[in-house]
A = this chain, B = another copy of it.
Amino acid sequence: MDKVKNIIVGCGITGITLARRIAEEKNEEVLIIDNKDHIGGNCYDYYDENICVHKYGTHIFHTDNKDVWNFLSKFTKWHPYMHKVKAVIEGIEIPVPFNINSMEMVFPSCLSEKLQQKLVEKFGFGKKVPILELRKCDDKDLNFLADYIYKRIFLDYTLKQWGVKPEDLDPLVTGRVPVYVSRDDRYFQNKYQGIPLNGYTKMMEKMLDHPLIKVKLNTSFNDIKNSIEYEKLYYTGAIDEYFDYKFGELPYRSINLDFQKYDKEYYQSNSVINYPENYTFTRIGEYKYFLDDKSDKTIVSFEYPEAFVRGKNERYYPIINEENLALYQKYLDEAKKDPKLMFLGRLGDYKYYDMDKAIERVLNMEI
């Protein structure tokens, strides 16, 4: 029987951060396993045609947490990239979230001026006004604006992205689509934004490069659990899977990424372009934009959201609602009976963590 002090299941950004902390701070051995054939979980990237491609779709790092930024900065230099997203509305590429610049691109100036004035007066420059709030105003121009954005940007995109009507979603999710009373075209306003200069995988390889960390790929917990003794098990995989789905399955959204390589320098004008009102995909990502990679070819991915189905695709986004959270809680209560066991990460916590929040959660936990 093998022995190891700590086992981490799942070699994504959560597991990797934790492995590093345990090795560095506790000076203890860690075995980190993953059933995929690569490290990094959904943050994994690789080079093709001199372009750094994100295998599981576009990943942009952004945080306000200096500790998180500094922690990662020990393992990578950064390309200081501020992410901007465009959406094609009425055939026009506008910045999203919808802002003052977007307004000027789609409306006649008389209308745009009037709306700007009302927004600045009512909400103030720099405010983000959620769509659903704007709909409730008793001003016909603002109502018009709300309806326009709701219909053009929000409704169909949400239907495609989540497969449900906006009303059936948690406000935390729907709130992601505001009107921004600003000319700030960025998708995120965080202090620290960037892409690891040599990609996420290289950064994560450095994080794992510690004499006390041992990585085993192509390995699930079931493969080893009967042949290894451990003191602590950190499980970043799906909590329902660990318990063999005994209370039922926790639902997730997934994405079917259709990668295409083109024999041209650029495919589109921006790293990510959303198609809220057209097509069955939600967006197209073009990877060379992230690190300003130079190549005669370009690689893009069309994103088709779909339901997660075991054995068919990957878990991406937990579907947060009362019913699912109650089911998660049942699993969590079960987990608490085993003092050696801890769940964490997007799948373990059943939370829609951005990368920084996943890391923050690990940096803040007691180990």
- Chain B residues near A278: list those with CB within 8 A: 80, 82, 191-193
Which A residues from 60 to 79 make CB contacts under 8 A with B? 66, 69-70, 73, 77-78
Interface centre among A73, A88, A182, A264 (most CB of B within 10 A): A182
Which segment of A15-23, A104-112, A248-256 sits at the interface? A104-112
Q: Which of B90, B191, B267 is the one whose CB lies under 8 Å from A182?
A: B90
A125 with B100, Cβ < 8 A, contacts A92-B185, A277-B191, A294-B263 known? no
- Chain B, Cβ-Cβ closest to A114: B110
- Chain B residues near A181: list those with CB within 8 A: 108
Asked if A186 CB lies within 8 Å of chain B CBs, one says: yes
**Would you call A184 and B108 a contact (CB within 8 A)?**
no
**Would you call B105 and A183 a contact (CB within 8 A)?**
yes
Asked if A120 CB lies within 8 Å of chain B CBs, one says: yes
**What is the count of identical protomers in the complex?**
2
Contact code string A79-101 (vs B, CB < 8 Å = 1, else 0) = 01010100010111000000010
Interface size of A by CB at 8 A reads 52
- Chain B, Cβ-Cβ closest to A105: B183
A91 with B125, Cβ < 8 A, contacts A116-B110, A278-B193 known? no
6 other A-B residue contacts (CB within 8 Å) besides A78-B279, A106-B182, A267-B292: A77-B258, A90-B189, A109-B116, A110-B117, A191-B279, A192-B278
- Chain B, Cβ-Cβ closest to A197: B260
